[in-house]
């Protein structure tokens, strides 16, 4: 397994593709509050071997829930695009049954950066809203890779 030289990884681009916080009329009129926030996260990763880049689209969803884990009518949906340049990307790619596979160490490093950055952006975006103060949990980024959608 290759060791990733983090100095050869850089951001090429970061975009917020979607940022929305929606409350139902019932939530606004009653302002019932919520006991916790259900968090969902998924990602899609694409390789561009010609440009030595990796693109990660990350979706993060927050939903206020009551003690019975029922939706109370406040949610946030966010979509981010991260493009990383990896100058020696070819060193970390292997062929796997007619597809390309990113070395696990590189994948975890990139997913850690994307997820951590997403957590910070979401925290800032929800300030001053009904979701303010909600924290997206720290997770093992390799779980995002193993649960990736194509």
Closest CA to 136 of 150, 118, 148: 118
Q: Is residue 136 part of a domain?
A: yes
Asked if residue 22 belongs to a domain, the reply is yes
**Residue 129 domain-assigned (yes or no):** yes
CATH number for position 104? 3.10.420.10
Most confident listed range (29-38, 50-59, 101-110, 128-137): 50-59
Number of H helices, E strands in the chain: 3, 6
Give a yes or no: residue 123 inside a domain: yes
- Tell me which of 35-39, 68-72, 86-90, 99-103 is least confident: 99-103
Average pLDDT over residues 35-61: 94
Q: Specify the DSSP class assigned to residue 97.
A: S
Is 130 domain-assigned? yes
The model carries a pTM of 0.86
Query: How big is the chain, counted in residues?
Result: 150
Residue with more model confidence, 132 or 98? 132
pLDDT at 87 over 80: yes
Residue 38, domain extent: 6-146
* Residue 51 lies inside a defined structural domain of this protein: yes
Inside any domain, residue 1: no
Q: What's the distance, Cα to Cα, between the start and end of the chain in Å? A: 24
The number of distinct structural domains making up the chain is 1
Does residue 101 form part of some domain?
A: yes
The fraction of the chain above a pLDDT of 90, given in percent, is 52
What is the average pLDDT score of the chain? 88
Instruction: Please state the rounded mean pLDDT for residues 50-77.
Output: 93
């Amino acid at each position: 397994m290759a060791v990733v030289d983090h100095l050869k990884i850089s951001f090429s681009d970061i975009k917020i593709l979607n940022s929305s916080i929606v409350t139902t009329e019932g939530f606004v009129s009653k302002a019932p509050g919520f006991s916790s926030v259900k968090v969902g996260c998924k990602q899609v990763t694409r390789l561009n071997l010609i440009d030595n880049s990796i693109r990660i689209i990350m979706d993060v969803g927050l939903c206020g829930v009551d003690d019975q884990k029922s939706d109370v009518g406040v949610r946030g949906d966010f979509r981010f695009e991260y493009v990383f340049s990896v100058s020696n990307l070819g060193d970390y790619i292997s062929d796997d049954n007619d597809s390309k596979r990113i070395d696990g160490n590189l994948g975890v490093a990139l997913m850690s950066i994307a997820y951590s950055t997403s957590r910070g952006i979401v925290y800032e975006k929800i300030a001053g809203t009904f979701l303010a103060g909600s924290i997206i949990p720290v997770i093992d980024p390799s779980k995002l890779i193993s649960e990736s959608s194509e």
